[in-house]
Structure 1
Amino acid sequence: MLIHMLAAGAAAAAPQNKFGFVEALEQGGFIAYATVTILGIMSFGSFYILFTKFFEQNKLMNQYKKNVSAFWRAPNVKEGAAKLDKNSAWRQLVDDGVAAADQQSKMTDQVEAHDWLHGSLARSESTINAKLAGGLPFLATVGATAPFVGLFGTVVGIYRALIAIGLAGSASIDKVAGPVGEALIMTAIGLLVAVPAVLAYNWLQARNKKISGMLAGFSTDVLANLSSGGAVKPAVAPAAPAKPAPAAAPAKK
């Protein structure tokens, strides 16, 4: 009985090694905390850009579906511009085209006048595409560098494990488990940050290309309409007739 009590007391007095994420960070010290903080900022920035650009792209696509047909059904470009949402990319293209057409009359050479109008619309289109591409370089940077940031934490963790082995004189598991565990955690976090950033970049880039094609087509139609004095218009479906209001129910006697 006494032997069992002494063994239990010795087991209770023995130090308990805890292995976990927080413990690994505590063992890693400043470098581990700095690495995780940098990767956290990268991850937060990636998801912020993903959601903001997604909503911006959806807004542009919905505006195109709802307003462009109504724009082309208007008698002229200036009246059609009023049917487009203010501060939208489509309204910007039309306004820049109308402003360029007004200045076009001051040019004596018809070829130069057409080039001026075409260049003004192309410049407006490039400005919109540049705004759509905002934030994507950050995603590309995160996707390319996050694994290496995690790898830096991994190298430091392995270096600390080797130091622990040298000081202990033996590669006992309790001496190397903490630093090696920290190293593996840093690698995993780096990959978890990089993979979503790369996927988000490719997906948003594909959607931007689709919107860029829509902008190019709309810009070409506006150019043709302004150059022809309103004679050239794309074919659009007529507006749906308004539904008649339901007849009021007869009053009860």
Structure 2
Amino acid sequence: MNLFDLLSQGDAVTRLVALLLLAMSVASWVVILWKAWLLRRASGDVGRSTAAFWQSASVDDARQKVAGFDRESLVLPLIAATQVSAPGSLAAAGDRSQQLTRLLRDALHGVLDKLQFGQVLLATVGSTAPFVGLLGTVWGIYHALTGIAAAGQITIDKVAGPVGEALIMTAAGLAVAIPAVLGYNIYGRLIGRIEADLEGFARDLRELLTHGEKP
């Protein structure tokens, strides 16, 4: 018995569980592949962008140089956020250091939201797929027991189909969950490294614009 047999021979619950696992698998693999591409580019771009910034003669010159390296727009929003709000508004209240802290914090949150996108889906699939598969397992065992009860005796033809269905559902749940959990953990570590680099750059940028060159 395979997935196609489940969809063609199973009842409504079996088909629903199988289709749900299939949808969860497709969604998680789309996120896994997309984030692999995104984080691969981001991990290199952040280092090159920050290096280009500190090698520039001025902040305006740095913006132009960083634009050539920051393909995922992770560093540029931090540089753009250093444009302090116009006088007369509450956003411009406080000294320059406070304004820059607020602006850079908001910009950093936006960048991190982009990096974190999809992590919730991977965590959800990784934690729920085994239980969805378990539902199919329980349903298959239930079919086996009802078949035995109806026949009045244990026969291989009454047990083989439902038990095979149950085993496939168990394996399917694990097959969906394991890649999602691995992707979540691996990408979480990569995002943490990039986040640390961006936070360090934002802190250094604030110090530069507070005590050093003005944009």
| TM-score > 0.5 by shorter chain | yes
Q: Residue type of the partner of 1:95?
A: A
Q: Residue type of the partner of 1:196?
A: P
Residues paired across the two proteins, number: 210
Task: Name the counterpart of 2:181.
Answer: 198
Task: Name the counterpart of 1:75.
Answer: 57
Whole-Å separation in 1 of the counterparts to 2:176 and 2:4 = 19
Seen in structure 2, the aligned counterparts of structure 1 residues 112 and 185 have a Cα distance that, compared at 3 Å, is same
| 1:1-253 alignment runs, 5 A limit | 19-85=1-67, 88-97=73-82, 99-100=83-84, 103=86, 112-230=95-213
Alpha-carbon RMSD: 2.3
Query: What's the offset of the Cα at 1:33?
Result: 1.9
Query: What's the offset of the Cα at 1:96?
Result: 0.7
TM-score of the two chains, using structure 2 as the length reference: 0.89
Seen in structure 2, the aligned counterparts of structure 1 residues 21 and 110 have a Cα distance that, compared at 3 Å, is closer
Identity %: 36
Whether the 8 Å contact between 1:28 and 1:179 is mirrored in structure 2 is: no
Whole-Å separation in 1 of the counterparts to 2:81 and 2:2 = 59
Query: What's the offset of the Cα at 1:129?
Result: 0.8
Whole-Å separation in 2 of the counterparts to 1:230 and 1:155 = 67
Whether the 8 Å contact between 1:96 and 1:124 is mirrored in structure 2 is: yes
Whole-Å separation in 2 of the counterparts to 1:188 and 1:28 = 17
Tell me which protein shows more helix as a share of its residues. 2
Deviations 1:154-192 (A, max 9, x none): 111111111111111101111111011101110110011
Seen in structure 2, the aligned counterparts of structure 1 residues 118 and 177 have a Cα distance that, compared at 3 Å, is same
Give the number of the structure whose alpha-carbon radius of gyration is greater: 1
Q: Residue type of the partner of 1:79?
A: D
Whole-Å separation in 2 of the counterparts to 1:193 and 1:39 = 7
Unmatched segments (≥5 aa) in structure 1: 1-18, 232-253
Whether the 8 Å contact between 2:28 and 2:125 is mirrored in structure 1 is: yes
SS of alignment partner, residue 89 of structure 1: coil
Whether the 8 Å contact between 1:143 and 1:198 is mirrored in structure 2 is: yes
Seen in structure 2, the aligned counterparts of structure 1 residues 23 and 130 have a Cα distance that, compared at 3 Å, is closer
Unmatched segments (≥5 aa) in structure 2: none
Query: What's the offset of the Cα at 1:59?
Result: 1.6
Query: What's the offset of the Cα at 1:64?
Result: 2.2
Whole-Å separation in 1 of the counterparts to 2:49 and 2:105 = 21
